[in-house]
Structure 1
Amino acid sequence: MVRFVDVPNMRRWLIDTGIEPAISGIAETIASDFIRWQDFDKTARVASHSDIGVIELMPASDGRQYGFKYVNGHPSNPARGMQTVTAFGVLADVDSGYPTLWTEMTILTALRTAATSAMVARVLAPADATTMAMIGTGSQAEFQALAFRALLGIDRLRVWDTDPRALDVFEENMRPLGFDILRANSAAEAVAGAHIITTCTADKANATVLTDDMVVPGVHINAIGGDCPGKTELDARILPRGDIFVEYPPQTRIEGEIQQLDAEHPITELWQVLRGEAAGRTSDEQITVFDSVGFAIEDFSALRYLAAAIDGTDYFTEVDIIAEPADPKNLFALVAQGAAAPSLA
C-alpha cells in the first residue's frame, strides 16, 4: 500500500498547519538539500512542448529516495475554466524501488515555488528590505506574498497586472491577512521604491514586463515567470548590470532569463552561496537577479517535507497500486482467472 494525499487531504493538512509555517518548513528543507547538492543525481526536466503549453517530468534522487513530479503549463487554460498549472508527484525508496508517497502537487508546487523564492531572497535581498513589487498577480502571487512575509517580514506590496480581475482577486485574498497593498497603474509605478521585484507572468512568450529603466541599484529581482525556451520577462539589458544566481545551469541556460545572453555569461549557482563557497549580496548598490525556473530538487524537498509532516496523521489514505502476488516470481497468479482454457470440442 502507498500513502496517497489527494486534494481534500492536502487542503486539510495545509489549513491545519498554516500556509506560512508550511512554506517556512519547506524552505528550510530546500535549503538543507541544496547544501548537500553533491549527493543528488541531477538532470534537467524532460519537457514535451506544444504550441499552447508544455508537459514535464522532473526527477531527482539523493541515493536513498527518488522523487519525480509531473507538471504542465498551459497559459490559455483559464479561458477554458482550467488551471494553468497542475501537478502530481511520487516519492520512492531507492533500495526497493517501491513508491512510498503519491500526492497532488498543484498546491504543493505553489508552496515550494514561493518557499524557494523567499529562501533565496534571504541571502540576496537587501537586509533592510520592507517592500516588494509584484508584476503578475496570478495563482502564484498570494503564496509569494506569504512566503516573503514568513521568511523576510515583508508586508508592504506594490502590485500590477494587465488583468484587473487578477488584481481584484489578489486584493480580496490578501488585504484581510494584514498586507499593506498599493494597486499600481503600471509596472513602472509598482516597482518605484520597492526593494524586491517579483515578476511572475504566464504568457509563453519573450515578453518584457520589467524594463531596464525600472531597475535601480540595490534591488533584488525574483524572476520566476520565465521558465521555458522562448519565455522571458526581463529586458535583456538588465542582466549584465546585476549578479545572476541560478538553480541548475544546464536547465536555466535553456529556459531562464539567461537564454538571452551568451552561453559563457558568468552566473553563480545557489548551492554554492548556501554552502558559503560563493558570495551572495556583497554591497548596498548591487543588483541581484534570481533567475528561477524551478528545479527537481525543490520538488524532492517538498515531497520529503510532506512525507515527514503526515507521518502518524490521517492526512492521507492508502492506495493499492503495487501488484504483489504471494510469490513475487508469479505475477500471472494475480490474473490467471482471466485466461480462458482452450476448448476441447
Structure 2
Amino acid sequence: MQKPVPSGRALVPFVSVENMARLITSIGLPRLLTELVDYIEQDFLRWQSFEKSPRLASHSEGGVIELMPTSDHVNYVFKYVNGHPVNLQRNLQTVVAFGVLSDVETGYPLLLTEMTLLTALRTAATSAMVARLLAPKDARVLALIGNGAQAEFQAIAMQTICGIEEVRLYDIDPAATAKTARNLAQTGLRIAECKSVEEAVLGAQIITTCTADKQNATILTDNLVGDGVHINAIGGDCPGKTELAAAILNRSDVFVEFPPQTRIEGEIQQMPEDFPVTELWQVLNGERPGRVSDRQITLFDSVGFAIEDFSAVRYIRDKIRDTDFKEDLDLLADPDDTRDLYGMMGRIAGARDEGAAR
C-alpha cells in the first residue's frame, strides 16, 4: 500500500543495501547478471544518444572521490563513488557508492539507490559482456588475480555469460583467496587456490586483474601472457594506478569504454597519447572487429563508465516496480503553491509541533 504523501512534500523511491540484497536474492544472481548484460548492451548500442565526459575526480593521498554523470536526454543518472585502498587497514570498504536517477524534463529525482553492491554487479556484467565478444570461444578457465570484494561477482558472471568452468585464484593475502574459494564452493565451478600469479595463469584463457593498491604496479608481467588470451584489466581505474607491464599493451589489441577517460585512468595512461584503441560500442554494432585470430591477445582496459551505471540504475528502476524492495523517502519539498516555499516550511514545522503537543 502506497504511503500518503506528507503535505508539501514528494516521496522518492529508495533502494537500501538491505533491499538491494533482497532483490538480488529474489531474482538470483545468474539471472540478474544475464539481464543486466542485456541492459548494458542495449545502451552501448545507442552510444551516440548519451552525454559523455570523464568523471569528475577529487584526489587525495589515500584515495579518490568521484562523480560519474550521464544523460540520454530523457533520464539523467549520476553515481557518487570513492576508491580508498587505505580503507582495508581501517576495516572499511575500499569502494562505496550511491546513485540517483532523475527525470530530465522536470529535474525531479525518480530513484535513489545504494550502488556499492550495484557497482560490483555492473562491473561483473560489463566484464562478462566484453569477454563474450573478445575471449576465445572455447574459454573455460579464468585466472582471477586479486580476490577482494569484486572477485565472486566476476567469477559468477564469467561462468554465467561465457561458460567458464574453472577459476584459478590468487591474492597476496591468502585469507582473501580462501574467502573467495569458500563463497564459490557451491557454484559448480572448479576452484584452484594458487600460491602465485604464475600458477594462477597456467592454462587460463581469460585473465582478470582486480587489485586495489593506488600505485603503478606490475601485477601481470609480459612473460606470463601467452598468445590467444583475453585480459580483463579492471583494477587500474585512476591516475597513477596500473596493473600491467607496458610490454603487454604493445602486444595486445586494446579495447576501452570511453578513450578520454581511459587515457587518464586506465592501463593506457602508460602509453603515448596516440596509442591505438578500439571503443567497445563500435565492436558491438559491427563497425570495428573484435577477436579476429586464435593467436590475438585482446585486452579490455576497464575503468568503469557512467553509461554502465545508467544501465544498472535503469535496470533496478524496472525491477522494483510494484514490489516492496524499496522505501519512500521524504526527500523533496513540493509546496502546493510553488512560489511559497517559506510558507510550506512554517506549515510543516507547525504541524509537527502541534502533533508533538497532543
After superposition, give the CA deviation of every residue in 1:164-205 in whole Å (9 maximum; x if it has no partner).
110110111011222101111110111111000000000000
2:273 maps to a residue whose letter is A
Structure 2 CA distance for aligned equivalents of residues 271 and 140 of structure 1: 24
Aligned residues: CA RMSD: 1.0
Which residue in 1 is equivalent to 2:233? 223
After superposition, give the CA deviation of every residue in 1:195-232 in whole Å (9 maximum; x if it has no partner).
00000000000000000000001000000000000000
Which residue in 1 is equivalent to 2:318? 308
Match of 1:81 among 80, 87, 91: 91
SS of 1:229 mapped into structure 2: coil
Which residue in 2 is equivalent to 1:209? 219
Match of 2:249 among 239, 253, 256: 239
Which residue in 2 is equivalent to 1:342? none
Please say if 1:183 is aligned against 2:209.
no
Q: Which runs of 4+ in 1 moved over 4 A?
A: none
Please say if 1:276 is aligned against 2:286.
yes
Which residue in 2 is equivalent to 1:117? 127
Deviation (angstroms), 1:76: 1.4
SS of 1:176 mapped into structure 2: coil
Please say if 1:54 is aligned against 2:67.
no
Please say if 1:297 is aligned against 2:310.
no
After superposition, give the CA deviation of every residue in 1:256-310 in whole Å (9 maximum; x if it has no partner).
0000000001100000000100000001000000000000000000000000011
Please say if 1:92 is aligned against 2:136.
no
Q: Pairwise mapping of residues 132-211 of structure 1 onto structure 2 (< 5 A)?
A: 132-211=142-221
Q: Contact 2:178–2:193 (CA<8 Å) still a contact in 1?
A: no
After superposition, give the CA deviation of every residue in 1:51-105 in whole Å (9 maximum; x if it has no partner).
0011000001001000000001111112211111000000011111100000000
Deviation (angstroms), 1:233: 0.1
How many residue pairs match? The answer is 339
Q: Contact 2:262–2:303 (CA<8 Å) still a contact in 1?
A: yes
Please say if 1:130 is aligned against 2:140.
yes
SS of 2:13 mapped into structure 1: strand
1:221 maps to a residue whose letter is I
Structure 2 CA distance for aligned equivalents of residues 224 and 81 of structure 1: 22
Structure 2 CA distance for aligned equivalents of residues 67 and 278 of structure 1: 28
Deviation (angstroms), 1:13: 0.6
1:62 maps to a residue whose letter is D
Unaligned runs of 5+ in 1: 340-345
Deviation (angstroms), 1:155: 2.1
SS of 1:13 mapped into structure 2: helix
Structure 2 CA distance for aligned equivalents of residues 313 and 138 of structure 1: 32
Which residue in 2 is equivalent to 1:256? 266
Identity %: 59
SS of 1:280 mapped into structure 2: coil
1:92 maps to a residue whose letter is S
TM-score under structure 1 length normalisation:
0.97
Please say if 1:71 is aligned against 2:81.
yes
Structure 2 CA distance for aligned equivalents of residues 176 and 128 of structure 1: 23
Structure 1 CA distance for aligned equivalents of residues 231 and 343 of structure 2: 59
Structure 2 CA distance for aligned equivalents of residues 188 and 76 of structure 1: 27
SS of 2:273 mapped into structure 1: coil
Unaligned runs of 5+ in 2: 1-10, 351-358
SS of 1:253 mapped into structure 2: helix
